[in-house]
Amino acid sequence: MAIPFLVLALPLILSSPFLSSASDTLSKGSSLSVENANDVLISPSGTFTAGFFPVGKNAYCFAIWFNEPFCNNNCTVVWMANRDHPVNGKRSELSLLKSGNLILTDADPVTVWATDTVSETSVHLHLQDSGNLALQNLEGEVLWQSFDFPADTLLPLQLLAKDKQLVSSRSQSNYSSGFFKLYFDNDNVLRLLYDGPDTSSIYWPDPELLSWEAGRSTYNNSRTASFDSLGNFSSSDNFSFMSADYGMTIQRRLTIDFDGNLRLYSREDRKDKWTVSWQAMSEPCKIHGSCGPNSICNYVPSSGRKCSCLQGFKMKDVTDWSLGCEPEFNLSCSTSETTYLRLTHVEFYGTHQDTGAVKPGYLQIATGFRKFTYAELKKATRGFREEIGRGAGGIVYKGILCDHRVAAIKRLINEANQGEEEFQAEVNVIGKLNHMNLIEMWGYCAEGKQRLLVYKYMEHGSLAENLSSNTLDWEKRFSIALGTAKACFLCNECLEWVLHCDVKPQNILLDYDYQPKVSDFGLSHPLKRDSHEISRLSRIRGTRGYIAPEWVLNLPITSKIDVYSYGMVLLEIVTGKSPIADIEDRRLVSWVKEKIKEANDMDLMMEKIVDPKLAGKYDKTQMKFLLGWP
Ligand SMILES: *[C@@H]1O[C@H](CO)[C@@H](O)[C@H](O)[C@H]1NC(C)=O
Ligand SMILES: *[C@@H]1O[C@H](CO)[C@@H](O)[C@H](O)[C@H]1NC(C)=O
Ligand SMILES: *[C@@H]1O[C@H](CO)[C@@H](O)[C@H](O)[C@H]1NC(C)=O
Ligand SMILES: *[C@@H]1O[C@H](CO)[C@@H](O)[C@H](O)[C@H]1NC(C)=O
Ligand SMILES: *[C@@H]1O[C@H](CO)[C@@H](O)[C@H](O)[C@H]1NC(C)=O
Ligand SMILES: *[C@@H]1O[C@H](CO)[C@@H](O)[C@H](O)[C@H]1NC(C)=O
Ligand SMILES: *[C@@H]1O[C@H](CO)[C@@H](O)[C@H](O)[C@H]1NC(C)=O
């Protein structure tokens, strides 16, 4: 009779917090071994376990999971130290060194992960009942804690802070970093992003809505989010929700699942199944990338989401839809062998969609554009051969993409990450907007230290180049002045806009039709509409000759700085004189004022200042309009 009794008793012992060898604390100089199943930390009340967790054949990760009986390899993992670098099932160890550093070593022994902490006094590693693993000294001061480095799950009262993100697992059984992320964007809004191998795009909140339309606020830059054990979630961008079972004190976790959905789960007891008490996406097909490239997502409420390949394509990996489909044919760049296939009743993300109502000439691109590899761009530019422009931020080369489109490829100087801020600003501003008078960005490349931006090539170079040559007639100048104004003062048309901070003829490019396209947003700065003022700009931004006097006089910097720069460009278009080069020791503005004073009627005034290269061929009414004269 003894044997059945033992079998029954075993699970009780295994899940008991009072198991002799398991404790909630690891002290200095000791370690946990992958080879000893009892080498785990169990939180005081027994809710969580920390230890080596099997993630594959002879592959382990140091993890924290809900302490469940019989969960075997299918426990609810809430944190992992080394999800992308599993260690060997033999000789791997987690050690709290005498120096105060907590390290995870592989069999070799190679350190695959470390907290990089230092402490001369006593420290210990403690697994708390909240699920937080904390390295603390005797005074209780926290030197490091797992709550500061979330993986795919947030627990009650754990803060999702600035610069932190939740990253989904690769699949149901593969815990390594996947393609979906929850993070605070540069404009302080909490978002879900598909960050796949080829493209990346935001799918929550609905990318077709402006932040305020989605109920989000961009004003609070504290960028924090958390939820409590009752089921109340709130975030600093004013997003909040209550779980369906709000009010009950039960186990909860917020997880970005491998399918890209963000879900709040709850259960009363560890014997129960987790139930979903809130989720971000009710229509799974709106999660970008969940069926992978070249596939179609179809959702039928009764049977769930179904992925299928486009005609002529097959699944890349039959066990993993997120890798999508690949052609069963050999794709050629030659257009003569390529035809188009019409697909009905599908919505394609990755193209612009005119949302109609607001925003003339202004569309928000629903998704990211293309991520290029460095090799691709190197090939397109034939090894960065043909330089077509050069600035402080980098050098621009002409290139021809695989599909024959002609591109201007800007390679940023990114020594010591100095260009990183400019790169991010440019991708975030131009990448999200499409306006007929803004330069069209096709994609970017961020590989190691390499930072490149890919734009549509502009046949006629910059306004600066063309003004100094003799061929811009009045008609072209007038249309360039109007188009530039449309791009520079978009703030009238949309709710959030940026200060360009560097409006000048070098940054106004001309297409085959002499339509101006404003470019180079590397110095731009987001502007909050209501305040119309930006406070903490540390350095003067812009180019001598076009910089508003506010900078020099230390006055508040508002959207008017771009108005000033635009005004200088306008005078340059009219007079043909550059405020940098042509007017010796005198500002263009005072030169114009002087000339006007010398004349006594309006026609004469115009004659005095107009570019002599126009040989008197200009439209007086249009010129008056540009100068704001009655
Ligand atoms: C998990 O996915 C990663 C990334 O695709 C892959 O490198 C790794 O081999 C996978 N692990 C297992 C156990 O399948
Ligand atoms: C693991 O648990 C989940 C959720 O309870 C279940 O859907 C899945 O089938 C389980 N996987 C295995 C391998 O047991
Ligand atoms: C939910 O949490 C937020 C932020 O902590 C708080 O302001 C709000 O009052 C809470 N709501 C309820 C019903 O407790
Ligand atoms: C910003 O958000 C934090 C966290 O939600 C909150 O404590 C703080 O009061 C907010 N600040 C403002 C100015 O609303
Ligand atoms: C935040 O939301 C509340 C109610 O949902 C609203 O009254 C308040 O004005 C919002 N705050 C901001 C800054 O949008
Ligand atoms: C594609 O190209 C490969 C290598 O050139 C060749 O082996 C294969 O048969 C081609 N497939 C088709 C469908 O043409
Ligand atoms: C404008 O400048 C570009 C680049 O220098 C040049 O190729 C083009 O011919 C110019 N156009 C005119 C009309 O001068």
Write the residue with the smallest CA distance to atom 9 of ligand 5: 238
Higher pLDDT: 333 or 151? It is 151
In a domain, 535, yes or no: yes
CATH code of the domain covering residue 275: 2.90.10.10
SS3 category, 103: strand
What is the predicted pLDDT for the residue at 431? 66
CATH code of the domain covering residue 579: 1.10.510.10
Percent of the residues in the chain that have a pLDDT greater than 70, as a whole number: 80
Q: Which ligand is nearest to the CA of 225?
A: 4
- Within 8 A by CB and 6+ apart from 131, the residues are 43, 47, 48, 64, 78, 79, 147, 155, 158
Q: Which two tokens stand for residue 606?
A: 């115009």
Cα–Cα distance measured from residue 437 to residue 507, given in angstroms and rounded to the nearest whole number: 12
Cα–Cα distance measured from residue 372 to residue 198, given in angstroms and rounded to the nearest whole number: 8
In a domain, 359, yes or no: no
Q: pLDDT tens digits for 565-617? A: 888 889 999 998 888 766 655 678 888 888 888 888 888 989 999 999 999 99
Q: Which ligand is nearest to the CA of 327?
A: 6
605 and 502 together in one domain: yes
In a domain, 13, yes or no: no
What is the predicted pLDDT for the residue at 123? 93
**Where is the domain boundary, 456, 476, 492?**
456
Starting at the edge strand found earlier in the chain, the sheet holding 93-96 runs 31-33, 93-96, 102-105, 111-114
- Within 8 A by CB and 6+ apart from 597, the residues are none
Among 115-124, 232-241, 331-340, 565-574, name the one with the lowest average pLDDT. Answer: 331-340
Secondary structure (DSSP) of 22-69: -BSEEETT-EEETT-TT--EE-TTSSEEEEEEEEETTEEEEEEEE--T
Q: Which two tokens stand for residue 121?
A: 């006094």
Separation of 223 CA from ligand 4 center, angstroms? 9
- Within 8 A by CB and 6+ apart from 430, the residues are 438, 439, 441, 519, 521
Choice from 168, 174, 195 to test ligand 1 binding pocket (greatest atom count within 8 A of CB):
174
Among 209-213, 226-230, 526-530, name the one with the lowest average pLDDT. Answer: 526-530
Residue bearing tokens 């339509």:
515
Secondary structure (DSSP) of 128-183: -TTS-EEEEETT--EEEEGGGS-SSEE-TT--B-TT-EEEEESSSS--SEEEEEEE
Q: pLDDT tens digits for 251-263? A: 999 999 999 999 9
272 and 312 together in one domain: no
Cα separations in angstroms, 549 against 289, 527, 528, 557, 578: 48, 19, 21, 10, 17
pTM over 0.85: no
Give the chain's mean pLDDT.
Answer: 82
What b/e sequence results for 410-429 when a residue is b if at least 16 CB atoms lie within 10 Å of its CB, and e otherwise?
bbbebeeeebeebbebbbbb
Binding annotation: 410
Count Cβ atoms below 10 Å from residue 313 Cβ, excluding itself.
18
CATH code of the domain covering residue 428: 3.30.200.20
SS3 category, 193: strand
Residues with CB under 6 A from ligand 7: 460-461, 465-466, 469, 471
Residue 535 has pLDDT above 50, yes or no: no
Separation of 285 CA from ligand 3 center, angstroms? 31
Residues with CB under 6 A from ligand 6: 329-330
Secondary structure (DSSP) of 239-266: -EEE-TTTT---EEEEEE-TTS-EEEEE
Q: pLDDT tens digits for 268-305? A: 887 788 999 999 998 888 898 888 888 888 887 777 78
Higher pLDDT: 166 or 600? It is 166
What is the predicted pLDDT for the residue at 504? 83
- Within 8 A by CB and 6+ apart from 303, the residues are none
Among 207-211, 311-315, 573-577, 621-625, name the one with the lowest average pLDDT. Answer: 207-211
Model confidence at 367, pLDDT cuts 50, 70, 90, reads very low
Separation of 56 CA from ligand 1 center, angstroms? 9
Residue 482 phi, psi (nearest 5): -65, -45
Q: pLDDT tens digits for 544-562? A: 677 777 766 666 666 677 7
What b/e sequence results for 44-73 when a residue is b if at least 16 CB atoms lie within 10 Å of its CB, and e otherwise?
eebbbbbbbbebeeeebbbbbbbbbeeeee
124 and 262 together in one domain: no
Is 130's C-beta closer than 6 angstroms to any atom of ligand 5?
no
What b/e sequence results for 338-349 when a residue is b if at least 16 CB atoms lie within 10 Å of its CB, and e otherwise?
eeeeeeeeeeeb
In a domain, 589, yes or no: yes
Separation of 394 CA from ligand 7 center, angstroms? 22
- Index of the ligand 6 atom closest to the CA of residue 328: 13
Mean pLDDT for 444-466 is 86
- Evaluate whether 367 touches 207 at the Cβ level (below 8 Å): yes
What is the predicted pLDDT for the residue at 342? 76
Residue 224 phi, psi (nearest 5): -130, 150
Residue bearing tokens 């051969």:
385
Model confidence at 16, pLDDT cuts 50, 70, 90, reads very low
In a domain, 86, yes or no: yes
Binding annotation for ATP: 410
Q: pLDDT tens digits for 68-92? A: 877 776 789 999 999 999 999 999 9
Cis amide leading into 205 (omega within 30) = yes
Higher pLDDT: 595 or 335? It is 595
Cα–Cα distance measured from residue 461 to residue 467, given in angstroms and rounded to the nearest whole number: 11
Give the residue from 250, 229, 239 showing the smallest Cα distance to 157. 229
Helix or strand holding residue 443 (H, E): strand 441-447
217 and 132 together in one domain: no
Work out whether strand 93-96 and strand 77-80 pair parallel, antiparallel, or are unpaired: unpaired
The single-letter code of the amino acid at 78 is V
What b/e sequence results for 526-549 when a residue is b if at least 16 CB atoms lie within 10 Å of its CB, and e otherwise?
bbeeeeeebeeeeeebbbebbbbe
Among 170-179, 364-373, 510-519, 560-569, name the one with the lowest average pLDDT. Answer: 364-373
Higher pLDDT: 406 or 506? It is 406
Q: Which ligand is nearest to the CA of 229?
A: 3
What is the predicted pLDDT for the residue at 379? 92
Residue 159 has pLDDT above 50, yes or no: yes
Cα–Cα distance measured from residue 49 to residue 64, given in angstroms and rounded to the nearest whole number: 6
Choice from 190, 234, 245 to test ligand 3 binding pocket (greatest atom count within 8 A of CB):
234
515 and 582 together in one domain: yes
Q: Which two tokens stand for residue 173?
A: 């059984």
Cα–Cα distance measured from residue 619 to residue 506, given in angstroms and rounded to the nearest whole number: 25
How far from the centroid of its chain's Cα atoms is residue 273's Cα?
34
Q: Which ligand is nearest to the CA of 241?
A: 3
| Strand blocks (E) in 310-382 | 313-315, 325-327, 362-364, 370-371
**Domain range spanning residue 143?**
19-149
Residues with CB under 6 A from ligand 1: 55-56, 170, 174, 176
Mean pLDDT for 523-533 is 49
Give the residue from 77, 322, 316, 285 showing the smallest Cα distance to 179. 322
435 and 373 together in one domain: yes
Separation of 529 CA from ligand 2 center, angstroms? 49
Mean pLDDT for 52-59 is 93
In a domain, 360, yes or no: no
Cα–Cα distance measured from residue 307 to residue 320, given in angstroms and rounded to the nearest whole number: 11
268 and 283 together in one domain: yes
Write the residue with the smallest CA distance to atom 3 of ligand 1: 176
Write the residue with the smallest CA distance to atom 2 of ligand 4: 236
Question: Which residues are the active-site residues?
Answer: 502
Separation of 248 CA from ligand 3 center, angstroms? 15
The single-letter code of the amino acid at 41 is L
What is the predicted pLDDT for the residue at 21? 53
- Within 8 A by CB and 6+ apart from 230, the residues are 246, 247, 248, 249
503 and 611 together in one domain: yes
Cα–Cα distance measured from residue 436 to residue 487, given in angstroms and rounded to the nearest whole number: 8
192 and 256 together in one domain: yes
132 and 191 together in one domain: no
552 and 477 together in one domain: yes
Write the residue with the smallest CA distance to atom 1 of ligand 5: 238
Residue 20 has pLDDT above 70, yes or no: no
Cα–Cα distance measured from residue 106 to residue 310, given in angstroms and rounded to the nearest whole number: 43
Number of structural domains, the chain? 5
Choice from 330, 331, 332, 334 to test ligand 6 binding pocket (greatest atom count within 8 A of CB):
330
What is the predicted pLDDT for the residue at 524? 55
Write the residue with the smallest CA distance to atom 13 of ligand 3: 232
387 and 472 together in one domain: no
The single-letter code of the amino acid at 226 is S
Model confidence at 141, pLDDT cuts 50, 70, 90, reads very high
In a domain, 342, yes or no: no
SS3 category, 506: helix
Write the residue with the smallest CA distance to atom 7 of ligand 5: 238
In a domain, 100, yes or no: yes
Model confidence at 197, pLDDT cuts 50, 70, 90, reads confident
Write the residue with the smallest CA distance to atom 14 of ligand 3: 232
Q: pLDDT tens digits for 117-126? A: 999 889 999 9
Choice from 238, 239, 528 to test ligand 5 binding pocket (greatest atom count within 8 A of CB):
238
- Evaluate whether 527 touches 559 at the Cβ level (below 8 Å): yes
Residue bearing tokens 């000048």:
504
Within a 13 Å sphere around the CA of 442, how many CA atoms are in the beta-carbon half?
A: 16
Separation of 219 CA from ligand 5 center, angstroms? 11
